[in-house]
Amino acid sequence: MQIHESFGCDFAQDTGFGQLDTLTGGFKGGDVILLGGRPAIGKSSFLYTLIQHICGKQGRSCVLFSNDTINVVIRRLIRQHTGLFYPDALKEEFLLALQRVYSFDLSISDSDTDIADIIRRCKRLNTYHKLIMIDDLQMIGLSGNYGHTREMKKEILWTLKAFALNNDCVFLVTSQLGRGPEYRTDHRPRIRDLYLSKDFGDYVDQILLLYRDIYDPQRIRNEHAIIELVYHKNGKKAPVDLWYDIEKEGFKA
């Protein structure tokens, strides 16, 4: 895919997290943003928290390519809003939350796993001025190949970058990290855990790394979390403190 040099990207999407938005200037049209973290850290939960803000509070539209089935996505959005589990489905609060989620201008795909299929879906959905979330990078195939070498990741992300620039939209892509954090005394993730090519700055505009101390046995209901901006094309780097609600599986400032 070719990049049109005459684009005029003027779209920006805030996240609802004021400190993060001040730091990044929002997620801007034409950007590809990586959200990295170890398994069970809360990458999907962070995406669902963004959906609550964008679709629920702002009434705007967004797109989600998910590893979870559509039913699971809906249940998790309800849980974030109410704290209710699926067995509580007959409760009036659950039914009202279900009605709320169904009112979202949210397009969900749980079947597009090849990058070519994702791009075709985006074209059909008219993703101009939208945030498109992909959960996760390791599940995206390239011409049916899922080996995920550094070069494969580069080609996949370059394809997303070209589409984002040509359509003034934003891609937010989650990515698993290597096991490096497990062997560090502070367990904190680093850019190298993403296993990107050395020229990643050509096709990635921001990198966020998500951290919670899931290794601490003394965990509480609302636990401290950090989302750290470790790469920004404008040179900004800083951690942002968040809280993670274990019961609702959602983030808050």
- Closest residue by Cα to residue 158 from 127, 206, 203: 203
Note whether 85 and 79 are within 8 A (CB).
Answer: yes
> Phi, psi (5° rounding) for residue 217?
-70, -20
Ordered structural domains, the chain, with CATH = 29-252 (3.40.50.300)
Distance CA 247, CA 91 (A): 18
Is the pTM for the entire model greater than 0.85?
yes
- Closest residue by Cα to residue 225 from 194, 190, 249: 249
- Per-residue pLDDT tens listing for the chain (253 residues): 333 343 455 778 999 999 999 999 899 999 999 999 999 899 999 999 999 999 999 999 999 999 899 999 999 999 998 888 766 666 788 888 889 999 999 999 999 999 999 999 999 998 999 999 999 999 899 887 876 789 999 999 999 999 999 999 999 999 999 888 888 888 899 999 999 999 999 999 999 999 987 766 555 555 889 999 999 988 789 999 999 998 899 999 8
Cβ within 8 Å of residue 68, ≥6 positions away:
44, 76, 110, 135
Distance CA 182, CA 246 (A): 21
Distance CA 148, CA 140 (A): 9
Residue type, 104: F
Residue entry with tokens 């359509």: 167
